[in-house]
């Protein structure tokens, strides 16, 4: 949410070190019961920094510090607190204070809080809200998690086409204290359908007697209540918007999503991508508040999938044991070969997956991508194989083994870079997240194929059978 203070930043920016000092001083003052001193300390501090300071206090002092804040400031600070601290405060504060707080939060932040609270408490709080706020909150809670409807706030300025510029400006002034943004204005018809859009900039420079209908732009970029939040973020990013209007199935305007929420979403989505790439289930965002058994249970699923794939390597080696028993020196290079292959594959899949997920590769022919990666893999394979062949000879003093190792590395590099580009593309085509074809998975696939290639090549070069 945006409010007039935060739009422009109240208080000077504090570096991490200064913020830590504030937290320590706050704790010191509270411990000696110097509440007046604590109030004065926090006066010039920004809301997000006050929130951080409160989060850093021992639990027993959090509610105490929070109660020192002036009422209007308390709401702002509350919206910046971590959900665990928000919940703790709900338990600690007097129920009238809680109600005042929740009543005055902006609807989008309120819904985010409700998502975290126990159902029983949510039901009680909903009942105690004013009818207007209750209705808005129920509307938002009714939309699916991760959709535009969940993110939006219904606090926008709506104009009518028949208004003059002057009338519109008067309405903006009237609504300003109660809306998320006044910088984009929305024009609706009698049935609340969105018919146009106007920036405050355009309104300010237009002749005051012109009608809104004449000033507004009729082609409006909008999203639906059920649009996925990542798509909402991409729309705001692509068209450099400050806010995007959200309409329901009848094209009626029901809310707006602002750019500040979108920044957080893009960061969440990047974290999700990185987690998937690392073989971690997303939703581990709250990892460090989660029970360790839950963490292990979540992670083990993916590890078992990889383990099953990897039993293939044991089966392959086991079936080729005769080669190894004749030339046991070959075993020394298995980890090196599959490890390097895995790394080559990881590079290819990283570039391709990120390109697909940020739409950078959209306009490229998949065949071009794969053949580029194949050639890159071959080039890398030649360079690496040259070095490894020499190293293998120095270690084992056996040219045949050395050549088998070097030649295998070349083949494995090509396989790995091809797999690293083909598999994400196939997943994309199937409508799945390409990030699932991540480094760990590619590595495991390359392991199985790599061992097979190596032992077969060694068999041929060393003349075993």
Residues 260-289 touching a copy of itself, rule: CB under 8 A, are 260, 262-264, 266-267, 270-271, 273-275, 277-280, 284, 287-288
Are 254 and 288 contacting, i.e. CB atoms less than 8 angstroms apart?
no
Is 453 near a copy of itself (CB under 8 A)? Answer: no
> Binding string to a copy of itself for residues 163 to 202, with x set by CB under 8 A, is what?
------x--xx--xx----xxx------------xxxxxx
Taking the complex as a whole, the smallest distance from the CB of residue 228 to a copy of itself amounts, in Å, to 13
Q: How far is the CB of 452 from a copy of itself (least distance, A)?
A: 11
User: Beta strand 158-159 with 184-188: parallel, antiparallel or unpaired?
Assistant: parallel
Mark the segment that binds a copy of itself (CB under 8 A) among 111-119, 124-132, 159-167, 323-331. 323-331
Alpha-carbon gap, residue 279 to 1, rounded angstroms: 33
CB of 33 to a copy of itself, least distance (A): 25
Using CB under 8 A as the binding rule, whether residue 424 contacts a copy of itself is answered as no
Smallest distance from a copy of itself to CB 298, Å: 10
3-state secondary structure of 256: strand
From residue 354, give the alpha-carbon distance in Å to each of 238, 276, 277, 362, 421: 17, 12, 10, 11, 11
Distance CA 260, CA 262 (A): 5
Enumerate long-range contacts of 5-13, CB under 8 Å, 24 or more apart: 5/47, 5/76, 6/47, 6/76, 9/46, 10/46, 10/47, 11/44, 11/45, 11/46, 11/49, 12/44, 13/46
What torsion do the CA atoms of 427, 301, 277, 364 make, to the nearest 10 degrees? 0
Which residues inside 82-101 make contact with a copy of itself, applying CB under 8 A? none
Going by C-alpha positions, the residue among 324, 309, 249, 240 that lies closest to residue 279 is 309
376-415 mask for a copy of itself (x: CB under 8 A)? Answer: x--xx--xx--xx--xx--xx-------------------
Q: Phi, psi (5° rounding) for residue 115?
A: -60, -30
Residue 314's Cβ-count burial label (10 Å; 0-12, 13-18, 19+) is: exposed
Segment interacting with a copy of itself (CB under 8 A) among 27-35, 112-120, 134-142, 322-330: 322-330
Strands (E), 75-217: 158-159, 184-188, 194-199
- Residues with Cβ < 8 Å from 25, sequence gap 6 or more? 41
Report the chain's terminal Cα–Cα distance, integer Å: 71
Smallest gap from Cβ 284 to a copy of itself, in A, equals 6
By CB under 8 A, residue 34 contacts a copy of itself: no
222 forms part of the interface with a copy of itself (CB under 8 A): yes
The answer to whether the beta carbons of residues 459 and 319 sit under 8 Å apart is no
Does the footprint of a copy of itself cover residue 456 (CB under 8 A)? Answer: no
Does position 328 interact with a copy of itself (CB under 8 A)? The reply is yes
Q: Are 188 and 194 a contacting pair, CB within 8 Å?
A: yes
Q: Which of 143, 253, 419, 451 binds a copy of itself (CB under 8 A)?
A: 451
Number of helices and strands (H, E) in the chain? 23, 6
**Of 135 and 322, CB closest to a copy of itself:** 322
Site for a copy of itself in 360-379 (CB under 8 A): 360-364, 369, 372, 375-376, 379
Q: Which is nearer to a copy of itself, 98 or 215 (CB)?
A: 215
Of the candidate residues 162, 207, 283, 335, the single one contacting a copy of itself (CB under 8 A):
335
Q: In this chain, which of 25, 27, 37, 55 binds a copy of itself, going by CB under 8 A?
A: 55
User: Residue 139 or residue 329: which is nearer to a copy of itself going by CB?
Assistant: 329
Alpha-carbon gap, residue 198 to 204, rounded angstroms:
10
Binder of a copy of itself out of 443, 449, 453, 459 (CB under 8 A): 443
Per-residue string for binding with a copy of itself, 2-31, x by CB under 8 A?
x-xxxxxxxxxx--x---------------
User: Please, which residue, 94 or 178, has the CB nearer to a copy of itself?
Assistant: 178
Q: Which one among 28, 33, 44, 429 touches a copy of itself, defined by CB under 8 A?
A: 44
Is 429 an interacting residue with respect to a copy of itself (CB under 8 A)?
no
Query: What letter would DSSP give residue 291?
Result: -
Residues 6+ apart with CB under 8 A from 76: 3, 5, 6, 47
Min. distance of Cβ 263 from a copy of itself in angstroms?
5
| Binding residue (CB under 8 A) for a copy of itself from 105, 139, 236, 246 | 236
Out of 18, 40, 214, 315, name the contact with a copy of itself by CB under 8 A.
Answer: 315
CA angle 321, 322, 323 (to 5 degrees): 90
Shorter beta-carbon distance to a copy of itself: residue 125 or 262: 262
* Minimum separation from the CB atom of position 194 to a copy of itself (A): 11
Please, what is the minimum distance in Å from the beta carbon of residue 131 to a copy of itself? Answer: 27
């Amino acid at each position: 949410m945006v409010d007039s203070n935060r739009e422009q930043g109240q208080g000077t920016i504090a570096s991490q070190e200064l913020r830590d000092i504030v937290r320590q001083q706050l704790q010191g003052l509270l411990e000696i019961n110097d509440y007046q001193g604590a109030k004065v300390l926090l006066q010039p501090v920004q809301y997000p920094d006050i929130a951080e300071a409160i989060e850093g206090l021992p639990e027993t002092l959090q509610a105490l510090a929070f109660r020192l804040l002036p009422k209007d400031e308390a709401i702002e600070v509350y919206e910046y607190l971590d959900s665990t601290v928000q919940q703790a405060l709900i338990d600690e504060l007097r129920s009238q204070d809680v109600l005042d707080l929740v009543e005055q939060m902006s609807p989008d932040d309120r819904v985010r809080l409700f998502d975290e609270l126990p159902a029983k408490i949510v039901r009680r709080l909903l009942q105690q809200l004013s009818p207007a706020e209750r209705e808005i909150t129920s509307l938002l809670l009714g939309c699916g998690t991760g959709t535009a409807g969940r993110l939006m706030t219904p606090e926008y300025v709506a104009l009518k086409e028949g208004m003059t510029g002057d009338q519109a400006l008067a309405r903006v002034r009237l609504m300003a204290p109660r809306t998320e943004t006044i910088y984009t204005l929305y024009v609706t018809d009698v049935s609340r359908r969105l018919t146009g859009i106007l920036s405050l900039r355009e309104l300010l420079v237009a002749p005051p007697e012109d009608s809104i209908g004449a000033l507004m732009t009729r082609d409006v970029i909008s999203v639906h209540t059920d649009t996925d939040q990542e798509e909402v973020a991409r729309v705001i990013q692509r068209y450099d918007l400050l806010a995007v209007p959200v309409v329901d199935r009848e094209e009626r305007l029901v809310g707006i999503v602002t750019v500040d929420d979108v920044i957080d979403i893009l960061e969440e989505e990047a974290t999700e991508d990185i987690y998937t790439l690392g073989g971690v289930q997303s939703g581990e965002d709250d990892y460090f508040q989660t029970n360790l058994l839950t963490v292990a249970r979540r992670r083990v699923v993916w590890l078992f999938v990889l383990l099953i794939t990897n039993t293939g390597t044991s089966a392959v080696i086991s079936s080729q044991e005769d080669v190894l028993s004749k030339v046991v020196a070959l075993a020394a290079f298995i980890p090196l070969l599959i490890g390097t292959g895995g790394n080559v594959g990881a590079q290819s899949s990283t570039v391709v997956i990120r390109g697909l997920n940020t739409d950078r590769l959209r306009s490229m022919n998949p065949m071009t991508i794969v053949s580029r990666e194949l050639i890159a893999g071959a080039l890398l394979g030649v360079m690496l194989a040259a070095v490894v062949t020499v190293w293998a000879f120095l270690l084992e003093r056996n040219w045949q083994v050395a050549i088998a190792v070097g030649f295998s590395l070349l083949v494995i590099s090509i396989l790995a870079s091809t797999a690293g580009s083909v598999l994400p593309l196939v997943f994309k085509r199937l409508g799945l997240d390409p990030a699932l074809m991540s480094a760990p998975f590619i590595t495991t696939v390359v392991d199985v194929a790599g061992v097979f290639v190596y032992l077969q090549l060694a068999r041929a070069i060393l003349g075993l059978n």
